[in-house]
Amino acid sequence: MPSLDISYLLQSAPSVQIIRMRNAHWVIPFLFNAFKTENILSIPEPSLINLLAEELRNHSEGTEDLEEARIEFGEDEESRARKYLLNWVQRRLLQDFPDSGSVTQYQLSAHTEKLFQWLQSLEKRQFVGTESRFKFLFQTLREMVEYTEDNATRRLEELKNRRAEIDKEIKRIEMGFKPEIYTNAQIRERMEWFTRLSHELLSDFREVEDNFKHIHRHIVEQHTKAEIHKGAIVGFAFEAYDALRKSDQGKSFYAFWDFLVSRAGQEEWRQLTDQLLQLLQDRSIDSDAGFVQNIKSLLLQQGRSVYDSNDRMAEKLSRIITEKEIARHRRLRQQIGSIKELIFQFMDDSPPPCGLQLEEPAPIKMSMERKLNLTEKQSAGVVKQPANAKEKIEDLLRFNRLLNTTHIDKKKLWDNVEKALRKKTTATLSEIIETTGLEHGMAEVISYFSFLREKASRVQAMQEITELIPLDEGRTRFIEVPYLLFSR
């Protein structure tokens, strides 16, 4: 990196400016505890104000620099908390956005995420693992050479060598030799690297979301310029969207997202995660089991926010096109009004001397004229009323079954959700049903979806992902429903 770029980053990079804040010594730890300790994606404004007000009450005198956030001396904790949040959004520590219930939500910005990653990299580690990373570098080097080589003969030779190595290992195991396994040190090294890559991957989602938001802001700027044609704005939006999808970052993100939402990928990830956690427990290896178990849910939430950005851009495009149609209709109404004014202006004038005079009468033919008909109109036939059906005992049983429906207690269903969320931050509908079971079959499954309206801040549905819910204990009947995710 050139020295000029380094100097520019030190002066203008938001992550560096956060560290230079006069209140950084308590702001950064507070944000880390609020968001990263339990891996919370977003916090509603009332909850975050209460947390920040409680933090301010515990401050000793001289901890805060009130001038930095333009806070006057003597203001109460809640008022100071609101001003701090506004200041943090302006300094790009946080991002605010309204949810479906018009409640302001706050989430960490991509700059704050990068700062936390850098701070975590400064933490003293017991040992620096080199084996796993060197093997990863060597494997990546081999794949780059192998998958860019278009020589079919050499590629076939590589595949045969790989098959020979696999056959050799199979023979060793069949002969009674023990398979090679990782030691505890090797597992700790790879576990530490796996956790770090997971955190970096979560931040990559946030960076892609920021790119979409930059496109939204650019569209709004173009829309405010009256001299630019609306069609040019729409064309720019589609070109920018296509460019983002076809960029290296866009291709990588959407390929990863397609694998993440696939049913096979989800099932394989769940099985591997369960096996890994069981292995770590058997070998007494310390790890962040909660984070490992919830990585998939966190990635789905972050990816969902990217798709929400796409929806907001589509809504913006629809609004631009709609405004264009409204303007066209307004001009059309103005033209019709001008024509009416001209008609009323000439109504009182004498008729102009115009017309044709004929010496002989001209035949007039009217295509829609009603002709004379001497045929008598036929009367409508008598409709025979149907006889009353005979009542059967089976009909009464069906009618009674229709009226006596089973009552489903939604409070009990939500208690099941809370019970499943005691051990982890997120849970899917299938995980909740596996824990508590079904008492009323399909009707109970459908009742869980009513929480999308009643508990909108803690439940979200992903329409592009589906899951199979068993309706009986023998798992012989299933219902396919959208992926429903509950969170704390």
Q: What is the CATH number of the domain that holds 75?
A: 1.10.10
Q: In whole angstroms, how far apart are CA 416 and each of 191, 222, 429, 447, 452?
A: 32, 50, 10, 13, 16
Higher-pLDDT residue of 196, 133: 196
* Confidence check: pLDDT of 224 > 60: no
For the ranges 63-77, 181-195, 344-358, 457-471, which has the lowest average pLDDT?
344-358
Judgement on whether residues 117 and 189 belong to the same structural domain of the protein: no
| Three-state helix/strand/coil letters over 217-286 | HHHHHHHHCCCCCHHHHHHHHHHHHHHHHHCHHHHHHHHHHHHHHCHHHHHHHHHHHHHHHHHHHHCCCC
DSSP letter (8 states) at residue 67: G
> Does residue 157 lie within any of the structural domains?
no
Q: Which residue has the higher pLDDT, 220 or 281?
A: 281
Which range of residues forms the domain containing residue 50? 3-121
370 inside domain: no
Residue 412 has pLDDT above 70, yes or no: yes
Q: Is residue 73 part of a domain?
A: yes
Amino acid 400: pLDDT: 60
Per the domain annotation, does 478 fall within a domain? Answer: yes
Q: Which of 227-241, 427-441, 451-465 has the weakest average pLDDT?
A: 227-241
Cβ atoms of residues 149 and 55 within 8 Å: no
- pLDDT band at residue 408, thresholds of 50, 70 and 90? confident
Residue 140 lies in a domain: no
For residues 84 and 8, the model is more confident at 84
Q: How many residues does the chain have?
A: 488
Q: Which has the minimum average pLDDT: 21-30, 312-321, 335-344, 359-368?
A: 312-321
Q: Are 244 and 328 part of one and the same domain?
A: yes
Same domain (yes/no): 26, 108: yes
Question: What value does the mean pLDDT take over residues 147-172?
Answer: 81
User: Does one domain contain both 111 and 189?
Assistant: no
Q: Confidence band (pLDDT; 50, 70, 90) for 127? A: low
Going along 31-179, which residue ranges are E strands? Answer: 43-44, 94-98, 104-108
pLDDT tens digits, 36-89: 887 787 889 999 999 998 988 888 777 787 777 777 777 888 888 888 899 888
**140-154, 187-201, 317-331: which range is least confident on average?**
317-331
**Nearest of 199, 233, 207, 204 to residue 219 by alpha carbon:** 233
| Residue 310 shares a structural domain with residue 222 | yes
> Any idea which residue has 């109404």 for tokens?
333
pTM (predicted TM-score) = 0.53
Q: What is the pLDDT of residue 330?
A: 76
Share of the chain above pLDDT 90, in %: 1
Domain termination site, one of 343, 360, 388 = 343
337 and 193 within one domain = yes
Count of the separate structural domains present in the chain: 3
Residues 455 and 320 both lie in one domain: no
Domain membership flag for residue 17: yes
Residue 352 resides in a domain: no
327 and 209 both lie in a single domain: yes
Residues 195 and 337 in one domain: yes
Q: What pLDDT is attached to residue 48?
A: 92
d(CA 204, CA 253): 9
Q: How is the beta sheet containing 426-428 ordered, strand by strand?
A: 426-428, 478-487, 459-470
Q: Are residues 323 and 426 in the same domain?
A: no
Domain boundary among the residues 121, 144, 167 is at 121
433 within a domain of the structure (yes/no): yes
Q: Do 208 and 85 share a structural domain?
A: no
Q: Which of 293, 318, 343 is the last residue of a domain?
A: 343
Regarding whether 198 and 49 lie in a shared domain, the answer is: no
